[in-house]
Structure 1
């Protein structure tokens, strides 16, 4: 196990321990962005867009100010939401329809948050480095979102579904 994988594994262990005593969706989303910023190197933004009123709306995040609303199927976040799958973009300048919130971001990974069959949000992580995210991040961040979903009460957020 290399240093990067060890750090990601440690991140998920710390995240699971953090959520053992808290189930509130807002608190857990907020703390999860802090954990990501603490454990992941070479990222400049980590946060959520929450599905509300037929758009993805900015939720808890760490980083510079961000785009507030993203339409379904627009940009990397909108595509990940619509397709209900993890998207890894090695060079955002080559992604058709990429939405530029921070021109310093060069690569991105977006993971849909699916609860009871409904996509309720996406986790978006940006990096100023090209090709920052690969299979290792995909694996451990998918586990990270599973930990979030298993330990969080999203029912108040899902009342609109």
Structure 2
């Protein structure tokens, strides 16, 4: 099957079935690929965006999803092979724009204590999905696109393996079950209340699929 056909949506799906279908299509699309930036996140944002575009509930008019993409911790990006001697490394207190579909977006999101604000920062810092029915009513909302009315942001959480060895027993106990926040998956919609709990649940499964499919 051509890769582009992954975004084709069968008729008559409700939201639960829609997200299950997108999850399954993405699982096949990511199979055998471990590179996050050049393949997996690029294909994930494209598949989600175009699947939503093909879905009657999201694909047209005032209910259209107008942006889908990722913001990532800067240490995840490949180091430049050539740079000026005085070039400073990216600050760890912010997220940088990753692969996306939609209009040009904010290039960075501050997440440092005292500077963090907005939906993406809250999802990243608190490590929980944030569902916003009205972005204009959300404290500190960052308007990348003034037409956006609602938003949902899922954190990308990588489980940290427990340390091994008797000499690290205390560290292993502390780290067991811990999670590292890598970034966020962000979707915007032109309609008020464009997303609900079914979208949140479907996107959380997709976010975890993306995390598990990549070498970070």
TM-score normalised by length of structure 1:
0.91
Task: Please tell me whether residue 21 in structure 1 is matched to residue 32 in structure 2.
Answer: yes
Structure 2 unaligned residues grouped into runs of 5+ = 1-11, 53-57, 59-63, 75-90, 161-178
Give the counterpart of 2:71 among 36, 46, 49.
Answer: 49
How does 1:60-71 map onto structure 2 within 5 Å? Answer: 60-71=99-110
Task: Please tell me whether residue 34 in structure 1 is matched to residue 96 in structure 2.
Answer: no
Q: Is the 8 A contact 1:8 1:39 kept in 2?
A: no
Distance in 2 (alpha carbons) for counterparts of 1:71 and 1:21: 33
Structure 2 match to 1:158 = none
Structure 2 match to 1:157 = none
The number of equivalent residue pairs is 154
Runs of 4+ in 1 over 3 A off after TM superposition: none
Distance in 1 (alpha carbons) for counterparts of 2:186 and 2:119: 9
Task: Please tell me whether residue 11 in structure 1 is matched to residue 22 in structure 2.
Answer: yes
Structure 1 unaligned residues grouped into runs of 5+ = 155-161
TM-score normalised by length of structure 2:
0.69
Task: Please tell me whether residue 122 in structure 1 is matched to residue 184 in structure 2.
Answer: yes
Q: Is the 8 A contact 2:15 2:199 kept in 1?
A: no
1:60 is paired with a residue of what secondary structure? strand
Task: Please tell me whether residue 90 in structure 1 is matched to residue 152 in structure 2.
Answer: no
Structure 2 match to 1:79 = 122
Shift of 1:2: 5.1
The one-character-per-residue Cα deviations of 1:37-95 (angstroms, maximum 9, x if unpaired) are 12122210001111122201111100000011111121100111111100000000000
Q: Is the 8 A contact 1:87 1:111 kept in 2?
A: yes
Distance in 2 (alpha carbons) for counterparts of 1:49 and 1:60: 8
